A and B are shown apart, each in its own frame.
Chain A
Amino acid sequence: MTAPTAAATTRRLTIAKAMSEAIGLSMNADSKVIVLGEDIGALGGVFGTTQGLLERFGAERVRDTPISETAFIGAAVGLAAAGMRPIVELMFVDFFGVCMDAIYNLAAKQSYFSGGHVRCPMVLMTSVGGGYGDAGQHSQCLYATFAHLPGLKVVMPSNAYDAKGLLLSAIADANPVVFMFHKALQGMGWLGTVPGSIVHVPQEMYEIPIGKAATVRLGSDITLVGLGLTVHLALQAAATLSSEGIEAEVIDLRSISPLDRETIAVSVAKTRRLIVVDDDYRSFGVSAEVIAGACEEGVDWLAAPARITHPDVPIPFSPALEHPLLPSVAKIVKASRVLCAGKVA
């Protein structure tokens, strides 16, 4: 029986609380950090990302904006160039369409076009993910849409500890970072939350390096690569597979871009079987990049790599249509069995 020492006692936070804590710590430490976005003031963000900040820091630094994404994201780039450190919320990643120029032609290229003389230390935080009936314009993931564009960093935590550390790293980064948070992990009272996302979060400031994945479960038979929600699905699948004598290694990407190719390469060199679980659209995305990258390393595959993704169709509304399309624990287990068939126990 372990004693409840200071180290053993824990403080659990939802991702939403971890994010607002990270922002609050940064704003406290650096007067140049400001937050902009829709409903991020008194409401504390539709997804709770800025709760408590308006009361602490006031309306000059915590600014509700009009529904003018191109203008306020463009403004954030200007603020960043002038030496401020803006954190901007794009309420749903699906809304990127109205402001993508400010993100990929402007923010992403400031450093390059200026030869490094003009910086863009900006964080764009945005909600992703579906599975709860919000239909085709409010349920998308679009990881690859952003990761594809040079000059942007893209991260997504699977739990509150990583959320705080990644967000603190993102705020400290001299470059534009797209910080994606998955709605199924956020900890909202009006939407279910995957329990594994609520974990111990230390009070102090700490950083999780951008560009480093985490191996969250060790195994020798098959590598399961996931991001955000799909990490939790993979872990559940791994538990089931373990009872069948298949030990899965689970990798939590944490950073989509830069991608931690080394961690993936080391894992697949060992297991020689790979499944990528990605709830974004199937084609031309993260799953393809992970597999292609692994192949480029020259792996002596025991089975062809596989991917479990959302098919290439717009996300339908009806649960009868949406739910069968989602990556699931059952799909991961089934695919893993196939790849591991013929494995000597």
Chain B
Amino acid sequence: MPAERDVRLHMYAQMTRSRYFEEAIKVAYLEGKQPLFNMAKGPIPGEMHLSSGQEPCAVGVCAHLRADDTVTATHRAHHIAIAKGVALNAMTAEIFGKRDGLSGGRGGHMHLFDATVNFCCSGIVAQGMGPAVGAALAAKLMGSDAVAVSFVGEGAANQGAFHESLNLAAVWRAPVIFVIEDNAWGISVSKRASTAVARNSDRAAAYGMPGIFVADNDTDAIYQAAGEAVRRARAGGGPTLIEIETWRLEGHFMGDAEGYRPSGEVAALQARDPLLVYRRRLADIGVSAAELESIECRGRRAVADAIEFARKSDYPGAESAFQTVFS
């Protein structure tokens, strides 16, 4: 059955906040990169992987998580960080490379670490899976019912660490949930062209754990599936693999020409934007337009505040590059 009204509104609030965030980051990222897109220029240099369209995966899962539950994620992780409760101002400052960033500018967009809510992300495909298994085992050894969640893309399901991590999690009966955000594209290569099976959730059977497939980027269905998996893990029932059919509305990275996407694909996906779908669903259950607008307004303000905070923050001093190499 669907989540309670408050939870659903909370998920909508996080999804909209996450989307506004990506839109604001996109604007800031493109500054200084016109007319010629040079990745090194502007207030946010380097790569940028936006999560627009994949918000349901983050909120549907994180709605069940506490601060002491661990989440590891990938290069496309802003929506997950926000849903996990990572401090938005510090996260934004980190993306801008400022001193007030989560790690003082050392990590940037692909390496966001917030130990207060046990969140981290990485730029190496499938790298976060092993650590999630370890965090889960730690919870078990320390007598806590905390769980760990590893978010990966469908491309990671063909990487060695995926298979090792699933097997190990099952052998240890670790309270970990593996979540695949299947957006169908590994940069320019489609899932169909790279993966031997149609459903990665089917691979769970090979590792002795339940495999759940959630279709159509459906926030409530994701919430449902994740809830069962988290409850199972907390109760000592071991790991689960959840595969979510989602989509990305932007390129793999900003600057990606996306020539590999069939024409019309993005437009068709925009028409099914999960935020629009969920807004309509909430209206259908009687949430007033005023309440929805109020949620959206708060989200926009939080994002605007975070961007302003980041812009106003100072850059770190050069000598801080030499600090924290060792703890």
A and B touch in the complex (CB under 8 A): yes
Given contacts A43-B187, A131-B40, A137-B123, A317 and B159 within 8 Å (CB-CB): no
User: Which residues in window 43-94 of B have CB below 8 A to A?
Assistant: 44-47
Choose one: A64, A131, A313, A320; the contact of B315 (CB below 8 Å).
A320
Given A66-B155, A67-B125, A319-B45, A137 and B320 contact (CB-CB distance below 8 Å) = no
A43:B188 contact, CB within 8 angstroms: yes
Max chain A C-beta neighbours (<10 A), residue from B107, B260, B321: B321
- Complex Cα distance, B10 from A123, in Å, reads 52
- List residues of A (7-56) whose CB comes within 8 Å of B's CBs: 38-39, 41-43, 46
Whether A38 touches B187, Cβ cut-off 8 Å, given contacts A68-B160, A317-B105, A318-B98, is yes
Is A329 located at the chain interface by the 8 A CB criterion?
Answer: no
- B interface footprint on A257-298 (CB within 8 Å = 1, 0 otherwise): 000000000000000000000000000000000000000000
Are B124 and A38 in touch, CB under 8 angstroms? no
The smallest C-beta distance from B317 to any residue of chain A, in angstroms, reads: 8
Knowing A316-B321, A321-B318, A325-B321, the reply to whether A66 touches B187 (Cβ < 8 A) is: no
Instruction: Say if the beta carbon of A98 comes within 8 Å of chain B.
Output: yes
The contact of B186 among A38, A314, A316, by CB within 8 Å, is A38
Nearest-neighbour CB distance to chain A for B46, whole angstroms, equals 3
Q: Which residues of B contact A65 (CB under 8 A)?
A: 194
**Chain A contact residues: over half helix, strand or loop, or mixed?**
loop
Q: Cα distance A71–B157 when bound, in Å?
A: 13
Interface size on B, as a range, is 35 or more
What residues on B are CB-neighbors of A136 within 8 Å?
106-107, 111
A-B contact pairs, 24 of them (CB 8 A): A39-B187, A39-B189, A43-B260, A66-B194, A67-B155, A67-B186, A67-B194, A98-B160, A133-B44, A133-B108, A136-B106, A137-B122, A137-B123, A317-B46, A317-B97, A317-B108, A317-B111, A318-B106, A319-B45, A319-B315, A320-B97, A320-B105, A321-B316, A321-B318
* Inter-chain pairs besides A67-B126, A190-B38, A318-B97, 7 sampled, C-beta below 8 Å: A39-B187, A43-B187, A132-B45, A314-B106, A318-B98, A319-B315, A320-B317
